[in-house]
Amino acid sequence: MTEYSGNFPLDHFEMLQVALYCHLWKPWGSGNTSLGSTDIRDATLSTGSVDLNVLSCPPLLFIQYYSWLPLSDLYSGQLLKLTESKAPSRSTEGDRNHTSVSVFVLMGLSDDKELQLLLFPVFLGIYLMTLIWNLGLIILIRIDSHLHTPMYFFLSFLSFIDICYSSSISPRMLSDFLKDENTISFIACATQHFVASWMALTECCLLAAMAYDRYIAIGSPLQYSMIMAPGLCWKMVAAAYGSGFLSSLIQTVSSFHLDYCGPNIIHHFFCDIAQIIALSCSNPFIGQMILFLEAIIVGFGSLLFILLSYGFIASSILKISLLKHSAKAFSTCASHLAAVTLFYGTALSVYMHPSTSHSMKQNKVLSVFYVIFIPMLNPLIYSLRNKEIKEALKRVIKRATYLLQQE
């Protein structure tokens, strides 16, 4: 075991913490007796530091305190490999000393190494299918002129969002399956959250834009081409991406600008912002308030707009006299409605109930669904029962076959 010696700077609050930790242990070493807070205070008032050589608790325990890893990790065998090489750095702001977290520890989906090795090929296959299906749908929409309509224009950008969203989390999760230490740097964690949050918030806005497109197509079919002009479609996409970018930037800066000098363990397989804010040792009120306001304005605002759009769509469908025509009109909305239900249903089930040890495990499973599975399912939802996409695919295959025969 590594021996530690030397003086470490402490403030008065830290003296009491060290005294508390020391009292958890029996005296060690020859002739040492347990030190109380008064003894540590007297030993540090003159120098502002404490000498590890005179402490009555093991240096390992003191380093555990000093690096701000949870004391529970001391009993789980995860201590020294983290504290010796990845202990948070000490810095100074004015006259106040504090510790700065440089890495976070992602606990992942499971602690079982054998299970992780079994999950690796499964999630690798899902990630590859996500990339292939979404990229294939984007290419198909771009090269087939029959799909150059507002609905498929928005769908191509939804597929791009799914690729970026999945790529911001899946590669890191896959690499963690094969590693013993699932650590992520402070900057990498902030970057991962920024990209994932940007894509998630943009998807909320884009789903609202797609709902408006369906409302115009059903409610005002004769004016559809004039209203949903290419210029308006580009503005709606730009507004969705811009809103997501700005909201994510504000959220990331406000959350990661907090002081992180305490526990650095995230009980998830990605940098979940709610857990990260909870780890802060400064007042998290501003970060939590920004997170709450963005969830209300962007998340619930988009959901409310979608529900209102479908309310008007239902009203327009009921006015159609022929049952056959009304069923056809509703079928154009079924795929979008299924995508909205999956996205919002899983997200709300994760973040709208109190956290407990049982719900934390349940949240991981639900998070896997909306982070990993939904980006893979979206292109299938929009393609499997869509005659226009099937016909476009047949035309592309026929054209490719003809070109190959010509060569």
pLDDT (0 to 100) of residue 54? 44
In a domain, 160, yes or no: yes
Q: Which of 71, 100, 129 is the last residue of a domain?
A: 100
pLDDT > 90? residue 50: no
Q: What is the mean pLDDT of residues 119-138?
A: 96
Phi and psi torsions of 274, nearest 5° = -65, -40
Q: What is the mean pLDDT of residues 330-346?
A: 87
240-285: pLDDT as tens digits: 999 999 999 999 999 999 999 878 999 999 999 989 998 998 888 9
Residue 209 shares a structural domain with residue 273: yes
Mean pLDDT comparison of 95-109, 115-129, 386-400, highest-scoring range: 115-129
Q: What is the mean pLDDT of residues 70-91?
A: 39
Residue 200 shares a structural domain with residue 221: yes
Residue 335: CATH number of its domain: 1.20.1070.10
202-219: pLDDT as tens digits: 999 999 999 999 999 988
Q: Which of 100, 121, 151 is the last residue of a domain?
A: 100
Per DSSP bridges, beta strands 89-93 and 103-106 are unpaired
In a domain, 315, yes or no: yes
- Percent of the chain surpassing pLDDT 70: 72
Q: At what angle do helices 186-219 and 230-256 cross, to 10 degrees?
A: 150
In a domain, 233, yes or no: yes
Residue 296 shares a structural domain with residue 320: yes
Residue 81 shares a structural domain with residue 120: no
- Give the C-alpha separation, 255 to 191, whole Å: 12
Q: What is the mean pLDDT of residues 24-51?
A: 40
The amino acid present at 128, given as its one-letter code, is: L
Name the domain count of the chain.
2
Residue 68 shares a structural domain with residue 209: no
Residue 354 shares a structural domain with residue 213: yes
Nearest to 17 by CA among 379, 44, 33, 29: 44
pLDDT > 80? residue 20: no
- The band of 36, judged by pLDDT with boundaries at 50, 70 and 90, is very low
pLDDT (0 to 100) of residue 69? 37
Report pTM.
0.75
In a domain, 108, yes or no: no
In a domain, 107, yes or no: no
Residue 252 shares a structural domain with residue 362: yes
- Which helix (H) or strand (E) segment holds residue 338: the answer is helix 323-351
Residue 173 shares a structural domain with residue 273: yes
In a domain, 359, yes or no: yes
Residue 322 shares a structural domain with residue 174: yes
Residue 90 shares a structural domain with residue 123: no
pLDDT > 80? residue 187: yes
pLDDT > 60? residue 74: no
In a domain, 2, yes or no: no
In a domain, 384, yes or no: yes
- Percent of the chain surpassing pLDDT 90: 48
Domain span at 47: 7-100
Residue 177 shares a structural domain with residue 314: yes
Residue 78 shares a structural domain with residue 162: no
As a whole number, the mean pLDDT across the chain is 78
- Give the C-alpha separation, 228 to 235, whole Å: 11
Distance (Å) of CA 185 to CA 36, 101, 103, 191, 245: 36, 9, 4, 10, 22
pLDDT (0 to 100) of residue 328? 64
pLDDT > 70? residue 163: yes
